[in-house]
Amino acid sequence: MEKQEIRTFGRRHGKKLSTRQQTLIDTVLPALKPTTGDILEIGFGAGEHVRDLARNNPDKIIIGAEPFMNGVASLLSAITDEKSNRILDEYTGIRIWADDVRDFLRETDSKFEQIWVLHPDPWPKARHEKRRLLSAEFLNLLSKYLSENGEIIIGTDHWEYFDWIREQIKSTSLIATIPDMEIIQTRYQHKNKAGTAAPKYLILRNA
Ligand SMILES: C[S@@+](CC[C@H](N)C(=O)[O-])C[C@H]1O[C@@H](n2cnc3c(N)ncnc32)[C@H](O)[C@@H]1O
């Protein structure tokens, strides 16, 4: 029997969606289902950084994965014209996987230049640690989806989780560097629930 995967995210639905958001999910989202792409962002939240990636990489296909439907709806609202619901020109490279990224990885043969994971859920209680997404097992899986010289870029303001991820990396074949990066503004970065001074970043590459 196949191993049951542990759920790494919280809720899939929050407050009721607006009529426009529901329309976008019903009519626009199906056309954005990804197959292959150049850059992947896992757990995009409300999608601020997915939009930055699309604007900064106009020739690339950017795939965002997020199971929280209110976040998916926020991204859809931000990338479409309010009157026509058409995708705005600067965002035509965006594709959305509105579910667990692990299901997407099972069906794609993409090799990504970049895989972004910004503020992954830290699951701070010891009994929830097994829900942490960035385990050695998952990082090993991600390493198989990197193109030559491809990078996994991780950011978190939860410094205990940061140290935990560094321990996990030791059980992978990935090489980690700590970059000097500008702080990336996302919704969770602004919330800074961990109350730390700044997020810390890691870049991982295949050896
Ligand atoms: C703390 S939020 C951060 C959101 C966003 N990156 C930001 O910085 O504002 C973590 C997100 O990761 C998503 N997530 C957790 N496990 C995931 C998985 N297996 N596949 C895709 N997304 C996942 C959650 O639904 C949640 O929205």
Q: What is the pLDDT of residues 70-98, one digit of tens each?
A: 999 999 999 999 999 999 999 999 999 99
CB neighbour class for 21 (10 Å; exposed up to 12, middle 13-18, buried from 19): middle
Distance 58 CA to ligand 1 centre (A): 24
Show me where the domains of the chain are located.
35-206
CB half-sphere exposure, 28, CA atoms < 13 A: 27
N-term to C-term CA, the chain: 33
pLDDT tens digits, one per residue of 24-54? 999 999 999 999 999 999 999 999 999 999 9
Mean pLDDT of the chain: 96
Q: Which atom of ligand 1 is nearest to the CA of 97?
A: 21
* CA–CA gap between residue 104 and residue 95 (Å, rounded): 12
> In terms of CATH, what superfamily is 35-206?
Vaccinia Virus protein VP39 (3.40.50.150)
* CA–CA gap between residue 46 and residue 160 (Å, rounded): 24
- Mean per-residue pLDDT, 105-110: 97
* CA–CA gap between residue 93 and residue 37 (Å, rounded): 9
Testing ligand 1's pocket by substitution, the residue of 68, 106, 115, 192 carrying the most ligand atoms inside 8 A of its CB is 68
pTM score above 0.85:
yes
Q: Give the per-residue pLDDT at 4.
A: 72
Q: Give the per-residue pLDDT at 2.
A: 52
pLDDT tens digits, one per residue of 142-196? 999 999 999 999 999 999 999 999 999 999 999 999 999 999 999 999 999 999 8
* pLDDT higher than threshold 50 for residue 1: no
